[in-house]
Amino acid sequence: LVILFSQEKSVDNKPWYRDAWDDLLDQFEEKSYLNARRWKPGLDPYKLHAFNQRECERTPSNRALRDTRHYRCTTLHYGPDLPPTSIVITFHNEARATLLRTIRSILNRTPVHLIHEIILVDDFSDDPNDCLLLTKLPKVKCLRNDRREGLIRSRVRGADMARGEVLTFLDSHCEVNKDWLLPLLQRVKEDRTRVVSPVIDIINMDTFAYVAASADLRGGFDWSLHFKWEQLSAEQRARRADPTEPIKTPIIAGGLFVIDRSWFNHLGKYDTAMDIWGGENFEISFRVWMCGGSLEIVPCSRVGHVFRKKHPYVFPDGNANTYIKNTRRTAEVWMDEFKLFYYWARPAARGNVRGREELRRRLKCKSFKWYLDHVYPELKIPDDSDSKSGVIRQRQNCLEYQTLEGQEMPVLGLGPCMGTKEVPALYQEWIYTHGQQIRQKQHCLSLSTMFPASQVLLLPCNASDGKQRWQKSGSHLEHLASHFCLDSEMALDGLESSRMLVISPCEPSAYTQRWEVPFS
Ligand code: UDP
Ligand code: MN
| CATH number of the domain where residue 143 is located | 3.90.550.10
Ion ligand 2 neighbours (CB, 5 A) are: 171
Q: Would you state the pLDDT for residue 167?
A: 98
- Out of 306, 329, 346, a domain closes at 306
368 domain residue, yes or no = no
* One domain for residues 190 and 99: yes
* One domain for residues 297 and 427: no
Q: What is the DSSP letter of 336?
A: G
Hey, which of 91, 126, 272 would you mutate to test ligand 1's pocket, going by the most ligand atoms within 8 Å of its Cβ? Answer: 91
DSSP string across 94-162: --HHHHHHHHHHHHHHS-GGGEEEEEEEE-S-S-THHHHGGGGSTTEEEEE-SS--BHHHHHHHHHHH-
Q: How far apart are the C-alpha atoms of 401 and 412, rounded to whole Å? A: 5
254 domain residue, yes or no = yes
Atom of ligand 1 at shortest distance to CA of 276?
8
325 domain residue, yes or no = no
* One domain for residues 244 and 108: yes
181 domain residue, yes or no = yes
What is the 261 CA–ligand 1 centroid distance (Å)?
21
CB 178 within 8 A of CB 12: yes
324 domain residue, yes or no = no
507 domain residue, yes or no = yes
Q: How many domains does the chain contain in total?
A: 2
* One domain for residues 403 and 288: no
Q: Would you state the pLDDT for residue 489?
A: 86
Ligand nearest to the CA of 308: 1
* One domain for residues 288 and 435: no
* One domain for residues 413 and 286: no
474: Cα separation from own chain's centroid: 37
Domain that holds residue 142: 22-306
* Contacts of 7 by beta carbon, 8 Å cutoff, 6+ apart: none
Ligand nearest to the CA of 312: 1
| Structural Rg of the chain based on CA atoms | 29
Q: Would you state the pLDDT for residue 186?
A: 98
Q: Would you state the pLDDT for residue 5?
A: 41
Residue nearest to atom 19 of ligand 1 (CA): 171
* One domain for residues 40 and 177: yes
Here the CATH number for the domain that contains residue 505 is 2.80.10.50
- Out of 306, 323, 342, a domain closes at 306
**Beta strand residue intervals within 307-383, DSSP E:** none
Q: Are strands 115-122 and 85-91 parallel, antiparallel or unpaired?
A: parallel
- Out of 258, 291, 306, a domain closes at 306
CB 313 within 8 A of CB 307: no
Which residues approach ligand 1 with their CB closer than 6 A? 90-92, 94, 123, 148, 150-151, 154, 171-172, 255, 276-277, 308, 311, 313
- pLDDT per residue of the chain (520 residues) written in tens, 0 to 9: 444 444 434 445 445 555 567 677 777 889 999 999 999 999 999 999 999 999 999 999 999 999 999 999 999 999 889 999 999 999 999 999 999 999 999 999 999 999 999 999 999 999 999 999 999 999 999 999 999 999 999 999 999 999 999 999 999 999 999 999 999 999 999 999 999 999 999 999 999 999 999 999 999 999 999 999 999 999 999 998 899 999 999 999 999 999 999 999 999 999 999 999 999 999 999 999 999 999 999 999 999 999 999 999 999 999 988 999 999 999 999 999 888 788 777 765 456 788 899 999 999 999 999 999 999 999 988 776 667 889 999 999 999 998 888 787 888 999 999 988 888 888 999 998 888 899 998 899 998 776 667 889 999 888 778 889 999 999 999 998 888 999 998 776 666 666 789 998 999 888 999 999 988 7
11: Cα separation from own chain's centroid: 35
* One domain for residues 179 and 75: yes
* One domain for residues 416 and 271: no
Q: What is the DSSP letter of 196?
A: E
377 domain residue, yes or no = no
318 domain residue, yes or no = no
Q: Would you state the pLDDT for residue 492?
A: 67
